[in-house]
Structure 1
C-alpha cells in the first residue's frame, strides 16, 4: 500500500511554501525530530485504518448469530466500496479546510480525534453487551449495531479526509526546497505507513476472534496512541503547518462566513444521515454505489472535456491533459482490481481457504498484512531496478510501466481464477494461492502507483495542477467503488454464486489484461502526446 493520499498536499506544498536554505530545529540522524512525530502519528493512524478495514466486509457479511450484521454480499460490497471511495473523495475538501480554516497541524489533530471517535462508536454495541446481559435477546441489538456501525464509518471517513492529505504536507515543510534529504525523509515516513498496515490486521483480527467490537476498539486505541505522542512531541513541529492569520477586515469577514457556511452544511448532512439511520429515508447501498459510479464517470468526462476545449490551453497542454484523461481510465481499472484485497479476496480467505495450521485457525484478516509486508521487502528493490535500467538506457516509459502494472494485476487474478475453480469443486484451497496473488498485485502497485502520481504532476498545466491531482484521486475513488460493486458478485456467497465465481474471476482477468494490452499498443502514441515529459 503506497498510500496515495499523502502526495497531493506534498506537491501542493512544494509550490506554495518558501523554505529556508537548511533544515532548522532539532535533528535526529540528520533529519528533523518532527519527522518522528509525524512518522508515529501516521503509523498509528494507518494501524487504525487498516485494522478496521481487515474486519469491515467480514463483519458485514457474517450472520447476526455470529455477531455480524448479516448483510448480503451485494450490500456488503456496495457499502465497502462507498466507504473506501469516501476516504479518497473527502481528502480533497480535507486539504481545502486545512488551507482556509484550520491549518495543517490542527487538521491532523482534529482528524485523529474524529477517527478515534468513529472506531469507538463502532465498538459501543460490544460495551453495551457487557453491561446488559440480556442484550443479545433484545430487539435493540440490530438497530444499535447498525446505527453505530454506519455512524462510525462516517466519522472515520471524515477524520481521514482531514488527517491524511495534510500530515504529508507538514513532512514537506520540515525540509528546504530541493533538499537531498527530503526524498529520504518521505521514504522513512512511508515506511511508517506500511509498518502500521502490516501490524494492524494481525492485532485487530486477533481481538475480533473474541468479539468484533474489540477489534474495532483496538483500532481506535491505536489512533489514540498516535494522538498522544503527536501532542507530547508537538514541540518539534513548532512553526510548521500553521494557518496563515487573516489580516484585513475583508479576510476576517470572509473566513467567518466560510465557517458559518461550513457549519450549516455539516448540520444539514448530519440531519440527513439521522433520517437515514432511523429508516425514515430508505437506503439501498447497491443502488447508491452504482449511481455514484455513473456520477463520477460523468463528472470526469465533462471536466476533461471542458478543460481541453474551454480551458484556455495551448496545443501542447491540451495533449498532456488528454494523456491524464487516458490514464484516468486505466488507473480506475487498476484500482478496481487491486482494492478487492479488502473485499472479494478477504471473503475468499474466510470462505474457501484452508486456514488450519497445526490445529490453529489463522484469522482471516491476517492475510491483509501481506501487501504491506511485500511493500516493505520489495519497494527498495523496485527503486533500485528502475535506477539500474535507467543507467542501461532500458527503463520503460511511464505508459509502459502503467501497462506492466495492469498486466501484473491481471496475472494475480489469473491465479485466483484457478483457485476459484478448486473452491467451486468443493475443496478448500491452500493459503499460497492468496499470497501469490497479493505478491503479484504488490508488484503491479509498485509499477503503477508512484508513476501515476509523478506523471500527473508533470503533465498538469501549472494553473490546474491541484485539480489534476484531484482527478487522480477521483480515479482511485472510482476504482475503490467499482471494487466494492464487484465484490458483491464475485464472492461466492451462495451455491449459484459459487458456481459462477470462476467465471467472474476470469472476467476480471480478461478486462484487466485486455486493458493492459490496449495500453501497450497506445504507449507510443501516448508517449508522443507527452512531449518533453518522461
Structure 2
C-alpha cells in the first residue's frame, strides 16, 4: 500500500511542508522589512524615510506577484514543475543568506532574489498539488488544497514570533537569517521526500527547452546587469519614482489588454460580459489589496510607534502582531466555507459580486477601527494592541470573502482561449494593490504627523471611506453582474 498523508497522496506532505516553510520565510521577513528599513542606522536599520521605505516595500511585494507569471512560463517551457520549485527554494535561501549580512548592497540583492525565488516556487508548487490527483477526483483535490492552505497559514502564524523576536530584540539580520533557515529546512525535506511526487510531464521537447533556456539566460543576464547597476549606484534612480512609474505601466497594460479583449479579440456577447465582470473584479481587487497590504507597511509602523506593546515587564516586538491574520484564517476560513455551503443548500448563497463587496466592506470597517485608534494617539496616548488585532481580524474576513471567490470566478468566467492570461491579469491586480499600499506609507512619516497630528486620522479615514464607497458601488452593481452566476452554472 502506498503511504498517505491524512488519506491523501504522500506527496501532499512534501508540498505541505515545503510551502509551510516557504511561507515561514516570506512572512518572517515581511514582518521585519518595513521596520528595518525605517529604523535609524544607529539602531542597526537602514535609516530610510517612510517615502523611500514604503516605495521599496511596495515594489518588492508587487514583484512577488508579478514574477509568478514568468515563473509559470519557466516551468512550462524550460525545466518543469519539480525543478522550478527546487530552484525557487534555492534562490530564496540565497536571498536570505545575503540579507543576513550587515551590508546595504547585499540586502537589496537578497531582497530581489527572494522575490525571484518566490515567483518561481509559488505558482508551481500549487500546480504540483493539483498533479497529485486524477482529473475526476474533484472533491478529493479540493480537500487536498484545503490541507495545503492550512500549511501556508501555519507558517505565516509561527514566523513573526521567531523572526520578530530575534530581529527586533537581538539583531535585525539574525531575524532575516532565521527566516532563511526556515526555507532551508523546507528545501531539505523537499529534496529528501521528492520521490513521492508524480513523474514530471514535460510539455516541450528537449530541443525546445534548450532554446527557451538560452533565451531565458540572455534575458536574466541583462536584467541582472541592470539590477547590479542600480544596487551599486552606477545608475541612480529614485525608488519612489520607480514605484510610481510601475503604477502607470500596470494600469496602462491592463487598460490595453481589456480593450483588446472587448473590441478586437472577436469574443461573442456572453464572453464579453464575462470579461466585463472580470474587469470590475480586477478594479475591486486592486482597491482591496491597497487597504489589506497596509498590514506590512503603515499598520506595522503604527504597531512600532503608536501601540502600547508592554506585557507586564516585557515589551513584545511590534512584528508579533503580524501573526494575527494567519490565526484568523486558521479559525474562520472553515466557518466561511461551511457558511457558503449552508446558504447554497437553501438557495440563498450570495452572488459572486455580493461576496466581493463584502470583502471591501470588511476592509472599510477595519480602517474605521484604525481611525478610532488614531484619535487615541492624537490625545497623546498609545493605542492598545486590541485595535490592531480587531483590524486584522476584519482584514481576514475580507480576504476570505474576496480572494478565493474572485480567483474561482475568474477561472470560470474567462473565455477558454484566454483563461491562463486572465488568471495572470488577476494576479496583476494583487501586484498593483501591493504597490499602492507601499506608496501610501509616505503618509505615516514622523515629519508629516508632527506637522499635522491629524495626518494619521486623514489617512485611515480616507482609506475607510474610499474602500467603503467601492464596496457599495459593487453591491449596487451586483444586480447587473448577477449573470456571472448563471454563466458559471452554464459552463459547469
Same fold, judged at TM 0.5 (above) = yes
> Aligned residue for 2:89?
112
Displacement after TM superposition at 1:176 (Å): 1.1
What secondary structure sits across from 1:532 in the alignment? helix
Residue 478 of structure 2 is aligned to residue 518 of structure 1: no
> Aligned residue for 2:128?
170
- C-alpha change, 1:453 and 1:327, in structure 2 (3 Å) is same
Aligned with residue 234 of structure 1, among 179, 194, 197: 194
Greater shift in the superposed pair: 349-358 or 382-391: 382-391
Residue 108 of structure 2 is aligned to residue 154 of structure 1: no
Q: Which runs of 5+ in 2 are unaligned?
A: none
**Residues of 2 paired with 1:296 and 1:290: CA distance?**
10
Residue 177 of structure 2 is aligned to residue 217 of structure 1: yes
Q: Which runs of 5+ in 1 are unaligned?
A: 1-23, 126-144
User: Any conservation in 2 of the 1:491–1:498 contact (CA below 8 Å)?
Assistant: no
What secondary structure sits across from 1:233 in the alignment? helix
What secondary structure sits across from 1:301 in the alignment? helix
**Residues of 1 paired with 2:105 and 2:452: CA distance?**
29
- C-alpha change, 1:245 and 1:526, in structure 2 (3 Å) is closer
> Aligned residue for 1:339?
293
> Aligned residue for 1:488?
442
Displacement after TM superposition at 1:491 (Å): 5.3
Displacement after TM superposition at 1:316 (Å): 0.7
**Residues of 1 paired with 2:342 and 2:446: CA distance?**
44
User: Any conservation in 2 of the 1:44–1:222 contact (CA below 8 Å)?
Assistant: yes
Displacement after TM superposition at 1:427 (Å): 1.0
Displacement after TM superposition at 1:96 (Å): 0.4
Displacement after TM superposition at 1:391 (Å): 1.9
**Residues of 1 paired with 2:482 and 2:452: CA distance?**
42
- C-alpha change, 1:29 and 1:442, in structure 2 (3 Å) is closer
Displacement after TM superposition at 1:238 (Å): 4.4
**Residues of 2 paired with 1:382 and 1:529: CA distance?**
21
What secondary structure sits across from 1:396 in the alignment? coil
- C-alpha change, 1:498 and 1:75, in structure 2 (3 Å) is farther
For residues 86-110 of structure 1, what are the alpha-carbon distances to aligned partners after superposition, in whole Å with 9 as ceiling and x for unaligned? 0000001000000110110000001
What secondary structure sits across from 1:103 in the alignment? helix
**Residues of 1 paired with 2:276 and 2:108: CA distance?**
39
Displacement after TM superposition at 1:217 (Å): 0.1
**What are the equivalent positions in structure 2 for 1:373-412 lying under 5 Å apart?**
373-412=327-366
**Residues of 2 paired with 1:445 and 1:277: CA distance?**
35
User: Any conservation in 1 of the 2:163–2:178 contact (CA below 8 Å)?
Assistant: yes
User: Any conservation in 2 of the 1:348–1:491 contact (CA below 8 Å)?
Assistant: no
What secondary structure sits across from 2:488 in the alignment? coil
> Aligned residue for 1:28?
5
**What are the equivalent positions in structure 2 for 1:72-471 lying under 5 Å apart?**
72-125=49-102, 145-179=103-137, 180-208=139-167, 209-239=169-199, 241-244=200-203, 246=205, 252=207, 254-471=208-425
User: Any conservation in 1 of the 2:131–2:198 contact (CA below 8 Å)?
Assistant: no
Displacement after TM superposition at 1:244 (Å): 4.4
Displacement after TM superposition at 1:178 (Å): 2.6
Displacement after TM superposition at 1:421 (Å): 1.2
Displacement after TM superposition at 1:530 (Å): 6.0
> How many residues are paired up?
486
**Residues of 2 paired with 1:256 and 1:41: CA distance?**
28
For residues 358-391 of structure 1, what are the alpha-carbon distances to aligned partners after superposition, in whole Å with 9 as ceiling and x for unaligned? 1100101100000000100001111111111112
Displacement after TM superposition at 1:112 (Å): 0.2
